[in-house]
Structure 1
């Protein structure tokens, strides 16, 4: 029986991905991208953050320094931001660029893959913002009914 190449094995596995199965690697990816810090980093690096000259709201990526991201994401610890950025870089969703200046400048930007996810995340973020009042009213109704 001929052995399969790595590309052939990936192609076969791609057809077999099913996040409902416990050992499916796509389940790990779903776990990662459903993290609140991932969603907020994706929004900040996409066009949903404050607009900069030369950037519009068409869904393009923009680069941000670590310190800019830290300020934008209120409440994120340095450790959590670093871990999340590393995991996004490892998954190919974010690129990290080091510029040899004094001090060294490090910027982050969405990749093409990251931009494709950003478009989906932008919709989820917009939905959450648009429906928060209804959700809060439903919570209050549920809590008073249960008491």
Structure 2
């Protein structure tokens, strides 16, 4: 982009997020992001290391990498998440319920309009790893 009146110009450069662990391990910033994720998993006592019993069908996991940007396009942080490959499961066989803690845009609009109408103060909060706090009755095995 160029500002023709002042003669200044700027260029926005984006880099691709790693697709594989091998790619991510070549970069210190992605290794650090992976360490932070593992620390959060350990801190929240998300799992314990054990051998799966005979007949159990462990779910695989994979790393997902995403560069988070600020509003001005600058890099805010590199985010690495270790996620279960839930897509390998089948409803009614491997699970019977689905929970997605995601607010719909319509719900957010209603809440914001109510807050504006009533003069309420709005606070925004980004909860990291909120999905890790669910209570499971079943034993789930990942590998």
Instruction: Give the TM-score normalised by the residue count of structure 2.
Output: 0.24
| Higher strand residue share | 2
Q: Greater helix percent: which structure?
A: 1
Higher relative contact order (CA 8 A, sep 6+): 2
With normalisation by structure 1, the TM-score equals: 0.24
CA radius of gyration, larger in: 2
